[in-house]
Amino acid sequence: MATYKVVIMGKEYVLTSEENKDYTERLAAALDKRIKDMRARFSSLSITDCAVLTALDCMDELGQANRNIDNIRTQIKDYVDDAGRARNQATGAQREIKILKERVEQLEKELAERTNFSAMNNVGEAVSAEDILKGDIKAAIGETSEPEAVHAENNAQRRSIQDSPYMRSYEQAMNKRPADGAAGGARFSGNDQGNNK
């Protein structure tokens, strides 16, 4: 605590303050200027009246400043709440991304195992990776019924058998065999049959 002398409206005041001397003298000078401005605007008022009106102005400014501070505190609280909600949403999204990544890794592993299995099984069980992936997607979204799955598997096996070298050799041998009733492999057209009565 220190004691300072200040002059306001020509009168000396002795003040005791916890603030430093420069700050106290600036406050006194600002108050002196405001009272003098009020006296210049309303010359019929006494110094006491001007001091009271100036004090009311200062109280009004203090009230507005406090309201602004309260608004700022409310806004800061809203921002903090929004940030907390956004952080919770981000955490939830990260958990969901982690779960989806694990599911993708699991599906990739299953696809690799099935592809390796079908590569070792050249007859009857060969299924393309695309068919496997389509089946997994349909099963995941619940679009594939059991009969459709069996039908798709039968089609895949049928394609595998038709593409086998044994089936191609058999078809080639069947195409080279003479037609029924033809001698020496000769084939008769409709015109030839019409000429031989």
On whether residue 84 sits in a domain, the answer given is no
On whether residue 142 sits in a domain, the answer given is yes
On whether residue 158 sits in a domain, the answer given is yes
User: Token match 């020496």: residue?
Assistant: 184
Report pLDDT for 35.
Answer: 94
Report pLDDT for 86.
Answer: 94
C-alpha dist (Å) from residue 124 to 72, 153, 154: 75, 10, 9
Distance CA 98, CA 78 (A): 30
On whether residue 128 sits in a domain, the answer given is yes
Report pLDDT for 135.
Answer: 74
For every one of its 197 residues, what pLDDT tens digit does the chain have, with 9 covering 90 and above?
Answer: 889 899 999 899 999 988 899 999 999 999 999 999 999 998 899 999 999 999 999 999 999 999 999 999 999 999 999 999 999 999 999 999 999 999 999 998 888 877 765 555 544 444 566 776 777 777 777 665 555 555 555 555 555 555 555 555 555 655 655 544 444 444 444 444 444 44
Residue 34 CB contacts under 8 Å (≥ 6 apart), including other chains: 54, 57, 58
pTM over 0.85: no
Distance CA 103, CA 110 (A): 10
Distance CA 31, CA 112 (A): 85
On whether residue 11 sits in a domain, the answer given is yes
| Total of domains in the chain | 2
Report pLDDT for 152.
Answer: 55
What domain range is 24 assigned to?
Answer: 2-44
On whether residue 133 sits in a domain, the answer given is yes
On whether residue 18 sits in a domain, the answer given is yes
On whether residue 37 sits in a domain, the answer given is yes
